[in-house]
Amino acid sequence: MVEESEIVLHGRRFKYRRAGEGPLVVLLHGIAGSSAVWRNIIPRLSEHYTVIAPDLLGHGASAKPKGDYSLGAYANMIRDLLEALEQPPGTIVGHSLGGGVALQFAYQFPERCERLVLVSSGGLGREVHPILRAAALPGAELVLPWLAAGAARGIGSMVRAMGRFGLRESADLAETWRSFVSLEEPEARRAFLYTVRSVIDFGGQLVSATDKLYLAKGLPTLIIWGDGDPLIPVGHAFHSHEIISDSRLEIFPGAGHYPHLDDPERFAKVLLDFIRTTTPRAFDASQLRTRLQTGQPRAKEGAVSAEADA
């Protein structure tokens, strides 16, 4: 049974879903989403594992304060949540923005990350859909209330509008509609803009993990992507797979930005197989020091690394 719970961290309400018993699996959703996006996956995983899926700060039913919505701040909050819930190290799964948070978490707290799963992940390349770049532009705060109100009136108008941006009548469109509906509240819109502008500008994604992916060597890593993803190009999956030695790559034919919704049965099967057939990484501080001292390939021109990005 999936339990919806609440905890107060640093004086702020934090909602999360929890189910099952066993080794820990953490599920992190994307921007303007919530833990509800994992609704078809949690029951399958909870037969074998303890599953925790939070509503990230500024999202879902969690608090939406003014403050820091950077990847580093999100990673800190996930660490604090797991510590407060007395959870051990585990498998960290992140979708879209949640993938960027998962990368950041693995970088900041390697001793807490046994495996890494990136699903249509942010933070792996500059390219991103124009609709997300537009949200980072000045004046977006004036347009969002109109979009949110339009979405709330019905999905019909959203189908026509989003079709012009290349979004299909699928999980991509349905979740985009839900995202805009969630932005009816001024506090939610403010948190959304804080988050977008911390990771995206008019040219694309501001932050890139690619110059630090060499640190993931030895960390069991699974990359899942839909070959029809309209928001973040599938090319990011192939490039990251080349950089992260021994990573696994699963491309879902016909799926978009939400492969876990387009094909939940296959998604759960792939994820369960990955966890069962890989050995959790034991953190080795001396190994980390050696890699840091050895250095890494220079990041590609145009990529910008955040001070604590993945």
Which of 96, 120, 170, 247 is flagged as catalytic? 96
Q: Are 75 and 104 in contact (CB under 8 A)?
A: yes
Q: What is the DSSP letter of 8?
A: E
Which of 29, 236, 241, 257 is flagged as catalytic? 257
Q: Are strands 113-119 and 90-95 parallel, antiparallel or unpaired?
A: parallel
What residues contact residue 33 under an 8 Å CB cut-off, 6+ apart?
Answer: 59, 60, 95, 96, 175, 178, 179, 182
Q: What is the DSSP letter of 282?
A: P
Where residue 196 falls (left for φ over 0; alpha for ψ -120 to 50; beta otherwise) is alpha
| Distance, CA of 196 to CA of 70 (rounded, Å) | 9
CB neighbourhood size of 32 (10 A): 25
- Among this protein's residues, is 80 annotated catalytic? no
Q: Which two tokens stand for residue 124?
A: 């792996």
CA angle, 42 then 112 then 30, to 5°: 45
What residues contact residue 251 under an 8 Å CB cut-off, 6+ apart?
Answer: 225, 226, 227, 234, 237
Closest CA to 176 of 32, 36, 59: 32
Q: Which two tokens stand for residue 151?
A: 């979405």
Which of 55, 229, 262, 263 is flagged as catalytic? 229
- Among this protein's residues, is 35 annotated catalytic? no
- Among this protein's residues, is 48 annotated catalytic? no
| Distance, CA of 92 to CA of 25 (rounded, Å) | 6
Catalytic residues: 96, 229, 257
